[in-house]
Every structure is written in structure tokens, then in C-alpha cells.
Amino acid sequence: MNIPFDNFQKLGKEQVEVTLKTFGSVSKGAQNIAVELADYSKKSFEEGTATLEKLVGAKTLDKAVEIQADYLKTAYEGFIAQSTKLSELYADLAKEMLKPYEGLYAKVNSPAN
């Protein structure tokens, strides 16, 4: 395959543009993930603190066990929901990272080249 120099320069420029688009996608995706993790951490801390306050105010052992069981159930369900959400965010990030390269890949592999 004989690629003229002008086409080679154009391909290099397109690769730079694709790289910059990818960097933007990664930055946005990473920011979304960081915000999500920060929100979850804050919510988790607040729930833990509220549970501790309830435990301190518990009058009986049965009530303390009930409070702790409720907290563990809520924390577990929250963790599963958060894990699912983060998995989706990471999958979306991967898709967005690859999107700019799809067009470039198609150009390189087209029969015209």
C-alpha cells in the first residue's frame, strides 16, 4: 500500500484530534465517577453517624440489635446499588473513549487507502 505524504499528514492530524476528543471524554467520565464516589461517601458517612446516634440512644439490647440490623441491610443495599451505578459509569466511559477512534479506524481500513 502506497500512502502519499499528504494523506499521511492528514492521518496524523486526525489522530491528534481523536486523541484530544478522547482526553475530553476521559476527563468528563472520570469527573462523573469522582462526583458519584464523593456523594456516596458523604451519604454513607451520614447514615453511619445517624445509626451511631440511634445506637447510643437505644434503651434495650433488642433495640440496639434491630438498629444495627437495619443499618447493615440499608448499607448492603446501598453498596449494591452504588456498585451497579459505578459499573455503568465505567462502561459508558469505555464506550466514549472508543467512539472517536471508530471513524479513524474506518478510514484506515477503507478500500480507498
**For residue range 47-83, what is the model confidence (pLDDT) as tens digits?**
999 999 999 999 999 999 999 999 999 999 999 999 9
Q: Number of C-alpha atoms within 13 angstroms, CB side, residue 2?
A: 0
Euclidean distance between CA atoms 70 and 90, whole angstroms: 30
Residue 27 banded pLDDT, cuts 50, 70, 90:
confident
Domain ranges of the chain: 42-106
Euclidean distance between CA atoms 90 and 47, whole angstroms: 26
Q: Answer with the residue of higher pLDDT: 31 or 10.
A: 31
